[in-house]
Amino acid sequence: MRKKIVVANWKMNGSLVDNKKWYNLFISKQIPNIDIAVCPSFVYLAQAQQLLMSTKIGWGVQDVSEQIHGAYTGQVSVDMLKDFGVHYAIIGHSERRSICLESDELVALKAERVLLSGLTPIVCVGETLEQRKNNQTKEVVARQLNTVLELCKNHDLTKLVVAYEPVWAIGTGLVATPEQAEEVHKFLRKQIAECVTGNLANNTRIMYGGSVKPDNAAELFSQPNIDGGLIGGASLDAASFLEICLAAE
């Protein structure tokens, strides 16, 4: 039985004051049966660690360097993340693929670095609207995921989390239907079985992301291959995020 996971991706939002209000609202709630985490900007990790340390809520980052240390201006290493008790690292988000031109190969190197460090990578895959219209969805997500699996299949992949995030659904209000999402999730699970093992495929959590809101979360999360959600816009409001977490329980 895969434990559901719901993760807030705050992107480049938040402030010390606003984050604290969010944490305060959330900390008092009991949602024991799922994994919950929040990914603020790097600069707010110390605050997340301080305020979440004694709670069941994990914290993570939205990116990480594939390098260990050295002359990489502006980058952040896994060891630095460990100093702040980080559990999760989102890797290959479509905004990083499109804005920062991250390739499948770079995403795979980052995933490998995170796995080797013992943190949990959340590897994002997803097609653009044009690719979907051209019937290339499976080809695209398979290429994105398989590049990671091929590089990492000799490492311990039990911590791997995958996020299917159709690019056309991110921040647009257009959500994949539960059937559309389920079809891709099932396909991704099959890829893991073929590339690594059936056992890993059965145990890997595959979350959905893209305009998840309190009113559509329950139906998405009830699909057999959808194991939770990666939440952008709706996670900025603590009350909405809480409703989404409750829908996953």
- Name the residues that contact ligand PGA, by CB under 6 A: 9, 165, 170-171, 209-212, 230-234
Q: Please give the structure tokens belonging to residue 36.
A: 């919950």
Q: Which is nearer to ligand PGA, 206 or 230 (CB)?
A: 230
CA-nearest of 148, 126, 121, 118 to 61 is 121
Q: Of 171, 180, 168, 170, nearest to 225 (Cα)?
A: 180
* Cβ proximity of 23 and 10 under 8 Å: no
Given a contact cutoff of 8 angstroms between Cβ atoms, the answer to whether 240 and 201 are in contact is no
Mark 8-37 as b/e (b = at least 16 C-beta within 10 Å).
bbbbeebeeeebeebbeebeeeebeebbbb
> What 8-state DSSP symbol labels residue 205?
E
How many C-beta neighbours within 10 Å does residue 224 have? 9
Active site residues: 93, 165
Instruction: Kindly state the tokens that stand for 3.
Output: 């434990």
Name which of 196 and 226 has its Cβ closer to ligand PGA.
226
Kindly tell me which of 140 and 231 has the beta carbon lying closer to ligand PGA: 231
Give the residue with the Cβ less far from ligand PGA, 195 or 233: 233
| Closer CB to ligand PGA, 159 or 213, in the complex | 213
Least distance from ligand PGA to the Cβ atom of residue 153, Å: 26
CA distance 200 to 39: 25
Look at residues 215, 221, 147 and name the one whose alpha carbon lies nearest to residue 181: 221
- CB 168, min distance to ligand PGA, A: 10
**Least distance in Å: CB of 4 to ligand PGA?**
16
